[in-house]
Structure 1
Amino acid sequence: MSAEWVTAQYNEEFRTPGSGLPRVAQYVKDYPTLAPWRGEYVARPIFFAEREMREFADDLRHLLEMIFSLPDRMFGGDLEAFRSVLGIDDGQWEVIRQFGDLTPPCFGRADMYHDGTSFKLLETNLGSESGGWGLVSEISEAMMEVDAFADFARRNRLGYVHPIRAVVEAVRRFGARVAPGREPVVALLEWRGGMKDYGDLWRNFRSALRSAGFDILLAEVSDVRERGGALYLGDAKIDVVCRAFVPDQIAGEPDGWDLVAPLLRAHQAGGTLLWTPFSSNMFANKACMALLSDPARRRCLGEDERRLIDRVLPWTRLISADVLRTDTGLVDECLERREQLILKANARGGGSGIVVGWETDDATWRRALENAAAEGCVVQQRVRPRSELVVDPLSGETEEWHASYGMFYTPQGGAGALARMVPAGSGSVISLMAHASARSAAVFHQSELPVWGEVPVLSASPAESAK
């Protein structure tokens, strides 16, 4: 049975009078650990073959290793030259340099589309500020509590990965450096005022962690103090900080350095550890993908590595002031191929800083390319997401939706996936933050073995992950 067959079977059973499947989305919305998010959910999950998910997770791990090696392989270890090509300004670079730890752990969420043939990587989102961990964990778990869905999952050998448990394992291992033999005290720190905008997301994250037997503190960077080489929130000593802010927030505000001074002192003293250093943001810069994609720059890579890049990464090129001045051929190509290209700011996320070539005219596209050079952007080949057929639970009509997928990963391997979906034709940027109609959906994989329910990480073998 293919994933397409499972989808068709699910929709058929969904339409059957008396089916319990139409009630699944509402059950998910009311699920206690998802209540803080207050989001909307698609009427069905998305299905993939376990082998396809596992192979992409493996490709992603190798691609991240290549990205981490870029300073040495392409720039002879010259970090100044590397950050210059990435467009990282002096203020942001000072943040990265002061906090050190220039090789980050593999921890974050890779965003991709599926074009009907395979997954295509859009961005890597390294770092603890990457959101969605709690959503994917709890949506899947909630669905499995609905008898109608649990029965469907059993009959079709469906399983899922619980990212929150992978987070707990990774943070416990990391925190053992300062908290041997006990549970580390972990605080997620937002930037000043950040809880107003993102508090619902992080409260969902905390609820999901609690359901897995692990708790964290939620605060803003202005709430903590340093004492004796460690960070404190009130009387609680913090062993590990999961940051939810980025270098440009520190460098871009007059008192930014004052706000992070306690964290910096505690980090340098070793009393409080920083989970995912600010160098994560350097390697998550979209220009890194352009360096891998451009044949002129990747002669230092092996043949197998180049094949992997071409398999998972769309055509991606760097747009900067130097490029516009020196590479007129690339500029002409971008102008000619406008309807096939999308422009993205190197260091932004959530759909911000995107110009969609096929939704603009020639003059607007030319201006966008010229303006993009000042900030630093990439231009990327359009990936047309495959259509997902979803039955509306109220009308019974079958609708086409498009999905952007987030694959979560930790140092131990791939850790599950989430879908963010919009109705087909409603817009080209699929983002929960940038699209009013966007909804979340779980991703289940169909195993070749009789697996049912939650499995560990996608880097494990099918036999090891069977439950």
Structure 2
Amino acid sequence: MTTTILPRPPRSRLGHAYGEQLAQHAPAGHPTAAARESAALTLAYRDRFLNGPAFLSQAERRTVVEDLHTAYELLRSLPERVFGGNVTELAAAVGMDPLQSALITRSARTGSLLPLGRADLYHDGAGFRLLEFNITSALGGFENADINRAMLAYPPLEEFVRRHGLRYRDTLGCMVRTMYAECAATIPTHRTPVVAVVDTVENFAVVGPRLQVFAAKLADHGIEGIACDLGRLTYPKGRPTVSGRAVDVVFRYFLAEDLTDPASAAQLEPLLLAAEQGKVGLFSGLDAELYGNKGTLAMLSDEQHRDLFDAAELACINRLLPWTRYVRPRTTDPGGDRVGMLAYALAHQHELILKPTLLHGGNGITAGWQVDTAEWENKITSAMNGPFVLQRRVRPAAEPFPDHAGGLQGLFLNWGIYLGARSAGDDGYAGGFVRGSTDPAVGVVSMGSGAAVGCVFHGGDC
């Protein structure tokens, strides 16, 4: 009897089906025309848009969202599981300096912290693998649904989405719902709430125009939004005020890494005091930065902590996380054997990537396959015992996207999947977007490395 071995189903059946539809009907017009005409989208992404969307099946969506909620709860439990409830020790372990630790410890004592984050993932052909989990309110992505709507102006895609019953989530709407739940005590019910979108003085000089778009978009959700820097906040009677408008909630856009400057920390002090006194909601608290960094992922992955998790939790960690370890003289390899870190890193250079624990946006990352042996050894030696992790390389599977010649091309995607608070009938999926590259060997698929951006539709059978 002969056994027929069937090939693995291709990534994104709907992606292939969409490409076949375009090839058969040779549509006129350009799929990204409406996106390029949007002032808000071109401000955020210039003209770097993918020719089609990414597709996420219902089964994939349910699985990855449930895994991300599990990972979020595990990260939040690390102070208790690993450090006896001591938040300051966790802050030190992930590389925060004393000033950052003090600010975050104060924030941890103020208010609640609901799930809010963006997971950056590659799909390796078998499942999603988590590279980073950005747990903070400074996520970007508030234009995600605008990309979906702009792409739907292309008639072939609109017809395809309608025929297959596909959908998308409004990421900004999900953020707002999470903000309402987390800051309910300071949000008025008798008038329009005032929300200030706030960054540091230095950052606002760069991202201010985009945050002004963000603040204006809050009007679609019944909110008066104001974008400003920390230096513009004044505190009559202890309550933050901007241009004469008393603020109900500060939508935080600065990160822990922005607070090493004493001037920024001094400007933050009255805001933290106002939050502690219940005069303003701070969304999300600075303690979110404790959990949204690469160091905490290393703690979940590390062999020495496996006895802290039950079977279901370990299954999620094994499914979602690539091997990730702090850069220390001794470690455990993927098989659980004790090895010297430097020797292991040199022997497996082309399968490893070095990352700082706290920086964002691809800053400070070194991909082993992109440097020579001498530079790699120097990077690992310099990172030893510092705030760095080594992570096993994840090779993303190629996904089908329309090319410029009526066919399909394989792109390698960094999926940004957003997570918000769960509620009745809502599993907390807050939408997504993708960054796509033609280069399978790029260190990080990001806008900084030349990737283009696209939207995500979910549903159907892909």
TM-score by length of 2: 0.89
Could you tell me how far apart the structure 1 residues matched to 2:234 and 2:434 are? Answer: 38
Q: Are residues 372 and 104 of structure 1, via their aligned partners in 2, closer, same or farther at CA, if it must alter by over 3 Å? A: farther
Letter matched to residue 205 of structure 1: F
1:370 and 2:385 equivalent?
no
Q: Superposition pairs for residues 148-227 of structure 1, below 5 Å? A: 148-181=156-189, 182-227=191-236
Q: Deviations over 1:379-402 (max 9, x none)?
A: 111000111233333x44643321
Tell me, which stretches of 5 or more residues in structure 2 are unaligned?
1-8, 333-337, 423-427
**Separation in 2 of the partners of 1:80 and 1:236?**
35
Give the structure 1 partner of residue 252 of structure 2.
243
Cα distance in structure 1, aligned partners of 2:106 and 2:90? 17
- Partner-residue secondary structure (3-state), 1:23: coil
Tell me whether 1:98 sits opposite 2:109 in the alignment.
Answer: no
Q: Which moved more, 1:203-212 or 1:271-280?
A: 203-212
- In the alignment of these two chains, the number of paired residues is 441
Q: Contact between 2:331 and 2:340, CA under 8 Å: does it hold in 1?
A: no
CA change 1:322–1:131 in 2 (3 A) is: farther
Distance in 1 between residues matched to 2:213 and 2:403, nearest whole Å: 26
Of 124, 131, 141, which aligns to 1:115?
Answer: 124
Instruction: Determine the structure 2 residue equivalent to 1:465.
Output: none
SS in 2 for 1:379: strand
Whether contact under 8 Å (1:240, 1:272) holds in the other structure is yes
Matched, 1:422 2:429: no
Q: 2:34 aligns with which of 1, 24, 27?
A: 27
Match of 1:350 in 2: 361
Q: Which whole-Å CA distance do the structure 2 matches of 1:203 and 1:16 have between them?
A: 43
Q: Return 5+ residue gaps in structure 1 as ranges.
A: 450-467
Going from structure 1 to structure 2, the CA distance change for 1:207 and 1:234 (only over 3 Å counts) comes to: closer
Which stretch of structure 1 is more off in the superposition, 367-376 or 304-313?
Answer: 367-376
Indicate the SS of the match to 2:235: strand
Deviation of 1:204 (Å): 4.2
CA contact (8 A) 2:197 2:215 kept: no
CA deviation string 1:69-102 (max 9, x = no partner) = 1111122223343233222221210111233337
**2:302 paired residue number:** 294
CA positional deviation for 1:201: 3.6
Match of 1:269 in 2: 277
Match of 1:390 among 401, 415, 420: 401
82-91 or 333-342, which deviates more: 82-91
Question: 1:380 maps to what in 2?
Answer: 391
Task: Please list the CA deviations of residues 320-360 of structure 1 after superposition, one character each: whole Å capped at 9, or x if unmatched.
Answer: 47879xx7523322221111110110001101010101112
CA distance in 1, matches of 2:440, 2:58: 29
**Is the 8 Å Cα contact of residues 117 and 137 (structure 2) preserved in structure 1?**
yes
Q: 1:348 to 1:320 in 2, by over 3 A?
A: farther
Q: Please tell me whether the aligned partners of residues 113 and 120 of structure 1 are also in contact (alpha carbons under 8 angstroms).
A: yes
Q: With structure 1 as the length reference, what TM-score do the two structures score?
A: 0.88
Q: Distance in 2 between matches of 1:322 and 1:441?
A: 41
Cα 1:195–1:339, aligned 2, differ >3 Å: closer, same or farther? same
Q: Provide the secondary structure at the position in 1 that maps to 2:306.
A: coil
- Return the offset for 1:193: 2.7
Contact kept, 8 Å, 1:176 with 1:184, in 2: the verdict is: no
CA distance in 1, matches of 2:207, 2:66: 31
Report if the CA contact (8 A) 1:387-1:424 is conserved: no
Pair 278,156 (structure 1): closer, same or farther in 2 beyond 3 Å: same
SS in 2 for 1:8: helix
Aligned-partner Cα distance in 2 for 1:191–1:312: 34
Q: Deviations over 1:171-199 (max 9, x none)?
A: 23334312331332111101113233223
Maintained 8 Å contact 2:414/2:435: yes
Find 1:12's aligned residue among 9, 17, 20.
Answer: 20
Whole-Å separation in 1 of the counterparts to 2:169 and 2:256: 31
Structure 1 residues 315 and 87, CA gap change in structure 2 (3 angstroms)? same
- Map 1:431-442; keep pairs closer than 5 Å: 431-432=446-447, 434-435=448-449, 437-442=450-455
CA RMSD between the two structures: 2.5
Letter in 2 for 1:382: R
Change (3 A) 1:78 1:145: same
| CA separation of 1:49 and 1:425: change in aligned 2, threshold 3 A | closer
Aligned partner of residue 443 in structure 2, secondary structure: coil
Moved more, 333-342 or 74-83: 74-83
Mapped contact 1:230–1:266 kept (Cα < 8 A) = yes
Cα distance in 2 for partners of 1:38, 1:85 equals 35
Give 1:281 deviation, angstroms. 0.8
